[in-house]
Structure 1
Amino acid sequence: MIAREPPLGPRAARADLAGRARPEEPDPLRTAFQRDRDRILHTTSFRRLKHKTQVFVAPAGDHYRTRLTHTLEVSAVARTVARALALNEDLVEAIAMGHDLGHAPFGHAGEAALDAILQEQHGLRFEHNVQSLRVVDVLERGGGGLNLTDAVRDGILHHTGSGRPATLEGQIVRLLDRIAYVNHDIEDALRAGILAPGDLPADEVAVLGSTTSERLTTLVADCVDASRDSDEIRQSAEIGQAFLRLRRFMFQNVYLASPARDEADRARGVVRALFTWYLEHPEALPPAAEADPVRRVTDFVAGMTDRYALRRYREAFEPQEGPL
């Protein structure tokens, strides 16, 4: 017996045609994309997302987003779009579950810090989408990787950056990732007191909605309507432009403003210090098949949760209590 997919539209990616670097026998109950989703779900990298920052570094409250809740929210809205367009919901879910596995601690501040120090000192780059692909290809399963399908790997790699996903399902995750984080970051910024409801730009609120639910409903419905007869996943001109203006507002007033900016400066200092310390103390790194010391340190620091990075920083740089 071989698992069968539900009815799909003619534009959908097919799991029975999916390729892997290492061929495998079909599963009797799950399609290839469902198997990929399950493999990602059971990784240590996925579990660590619950303690990795979305926007606010180690927030005191229990209700702020983390990388894990962000991932689940992206999966939910992206699957809604895929189902409405008769595309492959399982492929969308697998890509969404894996898209942020390579994110550094402290959100984009940690990513920027790793990228800066690698460029300055080693002529290399750090991009979380590339690191996410490295996680599933190389780092998980003790260095053997997950052997995911090519379509899932492509969607993970191209959920951000200059490249375009090869499948419509990958394009859904790319767009809905942005839609999810902008709207949910607004909610977190309001909860933190960084924004007041009246601070949101009036013109964009009038077009998109005044609440998270209203904005998501507008943006998801628009994506479905605009993409139904298109060869790409897109937004209408009016809604797309309003969303870009709202996203720009968030960068100016939340992501690049205090207190998020102040926390980001602290986070960058922690990441840079840890990177340098582990290069100088390779004996403190866990065993790994990777021989290149820079690559080993990058993998280890990028895999840290926020609280683990802060603990290791304190252990390395702050005086210990007790007698000398």
Structure 2
Amino acid sequence: MTVREQSQAIERLTLSPYAALSEESRGRRRPEQQDDLRTCYQRDRDRILHCKSFRRLKQKTQVFLSPEGDHYRTRLTHTLEVSQIARTIARSLRLNEDLTEAIALGHDLGHTPYGHAGERALNRLCPGGFTHYRQSLRVVDFLEKDGKGLNLSWEVRNGIITHTKGAWARTLEGCAVRYADQIAFLNHDIEDAVSAGVLNAAALPAGATRILGTTKSARITTMITDLVAHSQEGTMRFSPEVEDAYHILKDFMYSTVYVDKEAKREEKKVDKMIAELYERLCADPSLMPNFYMQIAYHEGIDRAVADYISGMSDEYATRLFEDLFVPKKWHVL
């Protein structure tokens, strides 16, 4: 037996009947020979971890735009926290941890620069709209590796496209990532908001903190423990009490922190920056690398420009804007 076959045998013996076994994967869009060492989901995890889009997450906004401080979340640290929470859920329910990790690491690869502010800007500009979860699937299917894509397993791709809204994933592993995303962003956004001085922890709704806890660690532990305890017979859910407390806390954040004038005053600049970049690149596609000009030729300029901008880091988008629109100093020889 190969190492992979041994791993598959261990999956059969140890995982839940509701887990997604790697040997039962629906496969890839382009068939490939199996690896001797790694299962298909382990290979997917490794491909995502080593791809360019994953590395760019370190310079993409999570909530606060270009915060001055080393401890605020970026899109990369958010992704790692989602992965950790999702793996804890998967391990507790005896689900496939490799599949769970692959989905978690890939779920935000299509996110724009400047977080949801950039996403909203592109959504207004692009014909047909723009969402980061659809773009994440496009990244792994096509944009990575110069148009070849990562050729991931069907289960990983399904988990990526369903991680935010709409239909739930067809695997419990994908559902675990969706819950982990909700648990992670709510609790680390609270912590970052307190650190930024835009939220007093004492102002959090007492009805929610009484159930979930008064600290980040307590809330995350409560939500994971509750989810595991109430996920049975192939379903995944919070208890009604924790579900209600979660929504109270989420609604509070959307009515206070996410619309805070101090924290969000720069977002109007993001709208203008993205709009100016979009208009200029549509007018002159030759400003983009050749790969995106090829996309423009085959799929249209709007599609190519959306792909190019959404893949930028915050710093790259700012630097390109300055190159295109900010006059440079005249150097006299």
Same fold? TM cut 0.5: yes
1:76-87 equivalences in 2 (<5 Å):
76-87=84-95
Report the Cα distance in structure 1 between the residues aligned to 2:165 and 2:223, rounded to whole angstroms: 21
Give me the whole-angstrom Cα distance separating, in 1, the residues matched to 2:38 and 2:234: 28
Please give the residue correspondences for 1:197-212 in structure 2 after superposition, counting only pairs within 5 Å: 197-212=201-216
- 1:261 matched to 2:268: no
Give the structure 2 partner of residue 234 of structure 1. Answer: 237
Give me the whole-angstrom Cα distance separating, in 2, the residues matched to 1:224 and 1:230: 12
Is 1:114 the counterpart of 2:122? The answer is yes
- 1:41-86 deviation line (CA, Å, top 9, x unaligned): 0110000000000000111111100000000000001000000001
User: 2:18 — aligned with what?
Assistant: 11
2:138 is aligned to 134
Q: Which 10-residue stretch deviates more, 261-270 or 168-177?
A: 261-270
1:153 corresponds to 2:157: yes
Which residue is equivalent to 2:61? 53
Q: Residue 268 of structure 1: CA displacement?
A: 1.7
CA–CA separation in structure 2 for the residues paired with 1:63 and 1:281: 39
Cα separation, 2, equivalents of 1:222 and 1:273: 46
C-alpha distance in structure 2 between counterparts of 1:89 and 1:50, whole Å: 24
In structure 2, distance between residues paired with 1:305 and 1:251: 25
Shift of 1:2: 4.8
Q: Quick check: 1:185 aligned with 2:189?
A: yes
Q: Is the 8 A contact 1:140 1:146 kept in 2?
A: yes
2:317 pairs with 301, 309, 312, which one? 309
Amino acid at match of 2:158: D
The equivalent residue for 2:175 is 171
Question: Could you say which residue in structure 2 is the equivalent of 1:217?
Answer: 221
Q: Does 1:66 align with 2:74?
A: yes
* TM-score relative to the length of structure 1: 0.96
TM-score by length of 2: 0.93
* Residue-by-residue CA offset, 1:281-320 (whole Å, 9 max, x unaligned): 2111001131221111110000000111111111211121
The alpha-carbon deviation at position 198 of structure 1 amounts to: 1.3
Distance in structure 1 (CA, Å) of the matches to 2:94 and 2:153: 20
Q: Does 1:282 align with 2:282?
A: no
In the aligned structure 1, how far is the partner of 2:270 from the partner of 2:330?
28
1:171–1:232 contact (8 Å) kept in structure 2: no
Name structure 2 gaps, 5 residues minimum: none
AA in 2 matched with 1:188: D
4+ long deviations beyond 3 Å: none
Checking the alignment, whether the CA contact within 8 Å between 1:2 and 1:26 is kept in structure 2 is: no
Task: Name the CA distance, whole Å, in 1 between partners of 2:34 and 2:15.
Answer: 19
Aligned to 2:247: 244
Q: Deviations over 1:81-131 (max 9, x none)?
A: 00000110100000000000000011111000000011xxx3x11010000
Q: What displacement does 1:230 show?
A: 3.7
Q: Is the partner of 2:62 in helix, strand or coil?
A: coil
Could you tell me how far apart the structure 1 residues matched to 2:49 and 2:185 are?
21
CA displacement, residues 252-297 of structure 1 (integer Å, 9 cap, x when unaligned): 1111222233122221221111111111121110011312211111
Question: In the aligned structure 2, how far is the partner of 1:243 from the partner of 1:161?
Answer: 16
Counterpart CA distance in 2 for 1:95 and 1:243 is: 23
Which moved further from structure 2: 20-29 or 34-43? 20-29
In the alignment, the residues of structure 2 paired with residue 281 and residue 11 of structure 1 have an alpha-carbon distance, to the nearest angstrom, of: 51
Q: Give the CA deviation at 1:174.
A: 0.7
Tell me how far apart the structure 2 counterparts of residues 262 and 39 of structure 1 sit (CA, whole Å): 37
Aligned equivalent of 1:273 = 276
Tell me the CA shift for residue 323 of structure 1: 5.0
Question: What is the rounded CA distance, in whole Å, between the counterparts of 1:139 and 1:8 in structure 2?
Answer: 34
What is the root-mean-square deviation of aligned Cα atoms in Å? Answer: 1.2
